[in-house]
């Protein structure tokens, strides 16, 4: 036989006994590592079979019950009292809690909050089906959410969040109450534009578009409509809400009631206009007064001259009459520009109101205008000038009388005087056509009457008189949509007693219930 250098062939099955110990050692080490990893998970994990017997649990769940994992394996899931909801023997409390929920359900145990997440492993070959429950401790997150919610609700301004289309997602309670609502659900899902009157919605739409592009909108003044149909002025701030990558994914905003600030700003503007126009009017009135005095005086002298023929006398009478009218206008201009100082004395506004009605009694009766009078006989006095206040009341009554005659319905006026806080308020309400621009009625020379029927100075003079008395005057259209109301508020005189007022009432006046 020939010698050969070839090594003998070793069959694979002979090498297996050599490799198996290493494989078994690796498998055992891997299994041990897996158990360690499983026990290191801080979430509570339970695995049970179809009969709701506990197959496996991690050390975190075992420690919750003060036992080792080996002591609990094989126990029924219903024995896990103190963690899940109580259930019948043979049932799983976590499965019962998870029924009907989406994305997990929340349970409270021993003062901590857990989010239950459930997974099902279907049966496969010889492997039976299993159910895995993972309980994640959400206590810290829930506490942070609670504090955020408390902060969110404690802010007095209305707060909201919306999607990029402007549909409301979340609001705080202050926002709900701003609109006279009770539940947040009445606002969720609604577009912000539905809260704005139609004529101003384009402004909000443009602001939302700018915010969507990443800009911030500050102090956007908008009228917002309440649930009762009323409208108030609000200041709105809008900011983009970004995700971790900086992309705008929503809008957050705040809303503050700016009605009082808006009214105050309008009053300041009105006062500024009155002061500027007053200086102008004073100069013009003085310049007109000199030639007017000559026209008035010489026309009177000519009328007293018997040598003036009758044909010329009629024209002279017309000149004298128009000069007298111009003299009255100039006096009003000067009164507007430089109000007469208030003669401070105790004045009973009820008496002044009745005197004003008595002066217009004939016109009201002749034209069938009904007047309802509601005057509190126990009103406190105000400190002021009775004659100037009489001028204010007469001017308002004159305007109301002209207004009610513009409609076809029977004219009606209501005068009500009441005591509110430290003020006396007199309200003159009519059923006329109302006022289109209530913010401009006190502007000098503003008038809604036809040319030749008014100078536009009457209410400006009233404004000056009332403010000289330390009060305020404003007007608003009636909520019924018919007519308007003028409010005069005067500070009550401290410690003053009411003056004796003669109960003068025109015969056609209807006296309403006393307040």
The token pair that represents 358 in the structure block: 């008595």
pLDDT above 90 (res 488): yes
Nearest to 492, CA basis, from 424, 439, 426: 424
Per-residue pLDDT tens digits for 182-228: 888 888 889 988 888 888 888 889 999 999 999 999 888 888 888 77
Phi and psi dihedrals of 234, rounded to 5?
Answer: -130, 150
What is the DSSP secondary structure assignment for residue 167, as one 8-state letter?
Answer: B
Mean pLDDT confidence for 101-119 = 74
Per-residue pLDDT tens digits for 372-383: 888 887 889 998
Give the HSE-up count for residue 385: Cα atoms under 13 Å, Cβ half-sphere: 16
The token pair that represents 14 in the structure block: 């002979």
Distance CA 202, CA 204 (A): 5
pLDDT above 80 (res 512): no
Instruction: Give the pLDDT of residue 270.
Output: 66
Give me the DSSP letters along 426-490.
Answer: EEEEE-S---S-TTSTTSTT---SPTTS--S-HHHHHHHHHHHTT-EEEEEE-TTSS-EEEEEEE
Distance CA 243, CA 233 (A): 32
- What is the longest distance spanned by two Cα atoms in the chain? 181
Distance CA 413, CA 372 (A): 6
Residue with tokens 């009770």, as numbered in its chain: 182
Mean pLDDT confidence for 101-112 = 68
Mean pLDDT confidence for 257-281 = 69
Taken in order of first residue, the domains within the chain and their CATH numbers are: 16-138 (3.30.450.20), 155-257 (3.30.450.20), 263-337 (1.10.287), 345-511 (3.30.565.10)
Per-residue pLDDT tens digits for 345-360: 889 999 899 888 887 8
Quickly state the pLDDT bin for 101 (edges 50, 70, 90): low
Nearest to 490, CA basis, from 400, 363, 388, 341: 388
pLDDT-above-90 percentage for the chain: 10
Indicate the helix (H) or strand (E) that contains 109: strand 105-109
Report if pTM > 0.85.
Answer: no
Distance CA 55, CA 53 (A): 6
Residue 213: exposed, middle, or buried by beta-carbon count in 10 A (0-12, 13-18, 19+)?
A: exposed
Distance CA 482, CA 406 (A): 12
pLDDT above 50 (res 452): no
The token pair that represents 36 in the structure block: 């360690």
Per-residue pLDDT tens digits for 294-334: 888 888 888 888 888 887 888 888 888 888 877 777 776 66
Per-residue pLDDT tens digits for 143-156: 777 777 777 777 77
Distance CA 294, CA 273 (A): 32
Quickly state the pLDDT bin for 336 (edges 50, 70, 90): low
Mean pLDDT confidence for 162-177 = 89
Distance CA 160, CA 172 (A): 7
Mean pLDDT confidence for 404-417 = 89
pLDDT above 70 (res 335): no
Mean pLDDT confidence for 487-491 = 93
Instruction: Give the pLDDT of residue 85.
Output: 62
pLDDT above 70 (res 119): yes
Q: Are the beta carbons of 253 and 236 closer than 8 angstroms?
A: yes
Distance CA 430, CA 205 (A): 39
How many other CB atoms are there within 10 angstroms of residue 298's CB atom?
Answer: 14
Average pLDDT, the chain: 78
pLDDT above 60 (res 361): yes
Instruction: Give the pLDDT of residue 141.
Output: 77
Distance CA 119, CA 132 (A): 5
């Amino acid at each position: 036989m020939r010698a050969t250098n070839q090594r003998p062939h070793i069959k694979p099955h002979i090498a297996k006994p050599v490799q198996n110990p290493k494989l078994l050692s690796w498998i055992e080490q891997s299994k041990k590592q897996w158990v360690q990893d499983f026990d290191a998970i801080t979430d509570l994990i339970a695995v049970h079979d179809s009969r709701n017997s506990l197959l496996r649990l991690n050390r975190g769940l075992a420690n919750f019950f003060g036992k080792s994992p080996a002591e609990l394996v094989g126990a029924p899931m219903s024995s896990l009292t103190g963690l899940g909801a109580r259930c019948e023997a043979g049932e799983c409390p976590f499965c019962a809690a998870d029924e009907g929920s989406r994305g997990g359900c929340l349970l409270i145990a021993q003062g901590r909050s857990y989010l239950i997440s459930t997974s099902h492993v279907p049966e496969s070959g010889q492997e039976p089906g299993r159910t895995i429950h993972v309980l994640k401790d959400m206590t810290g997150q829930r506490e942070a959410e609670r504090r955020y919610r408390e902060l969110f609700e404690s802010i007095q301004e209305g707060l909201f969040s919306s999607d990029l289309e402007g549909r409301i997602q979340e609001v705080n309670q202050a926002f709900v109450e701003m609109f006279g609502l009770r539940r947040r659900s009445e606002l969720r899902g609604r577009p912000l534009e539905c809260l704005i009157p139609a004529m101003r919605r384009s402004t909000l739409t443009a602001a939302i578009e700018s915010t969507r592009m990443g800009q911030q909108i500050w102090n956007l003044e908008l009228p917002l409509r309440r649930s009762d149909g009323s409208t108030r002025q609000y200041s709105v701030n809008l900011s983009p809400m970004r995700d971790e990558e900086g992309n705008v994914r929503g809008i957050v905003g705040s809303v503050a009631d700016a009605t009082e600030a808006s009214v105050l700003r309008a009053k300041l503007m009105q006062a500024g206009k009155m002061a500027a126009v007053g200086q102008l009017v004073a100069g013009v009135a003085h310049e007109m007064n000199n030639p007017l005095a000559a026209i008035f005086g010489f026309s009177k002298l000519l009328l007293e001259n018997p040598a003036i023929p009758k044909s010329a006398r009629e024209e002279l009478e017309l000149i004298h009459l128009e000069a007298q009218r111009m003299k009255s206008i100039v006096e009003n201009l000067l009164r507007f520009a430089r109000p007469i100082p208030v003669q401070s004395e105790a004045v009973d506004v009820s008496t002044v109101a009745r005197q004003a009605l008595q002066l217009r009694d004939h016109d009201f009766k002749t034209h069938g205008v009904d007047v309802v009078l509601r005057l509190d006989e126990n009103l406190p006095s105000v400190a002021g000038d009775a004659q100037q206040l009489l001028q204010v009341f007469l001017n308002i009554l004159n305007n109301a009388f002209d207004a009610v005659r513009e409609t076809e319905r029977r004219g009606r006026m209501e005068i009500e005087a009441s005591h509110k806080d430290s003020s006396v308020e007199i309200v003159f309400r009519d059923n006329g056509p109302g006022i289109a621009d209530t913010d401009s009625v006190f502007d000098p020379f503003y008038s809604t009457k036809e040319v030749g029927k008014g100078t536009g100075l009457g209410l400006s003079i009233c404004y000056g008189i009332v403010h000289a008395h330390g009060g305020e005057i404003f007007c608003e259209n009636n909520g019924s949509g018919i007519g308007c109301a003028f409010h005069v508020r005067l500070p009550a005189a401290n410690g003053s007693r009411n003056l004796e007022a003669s109960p003068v009432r025109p015969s056609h006046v209807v006296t309403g219930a006393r307040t």
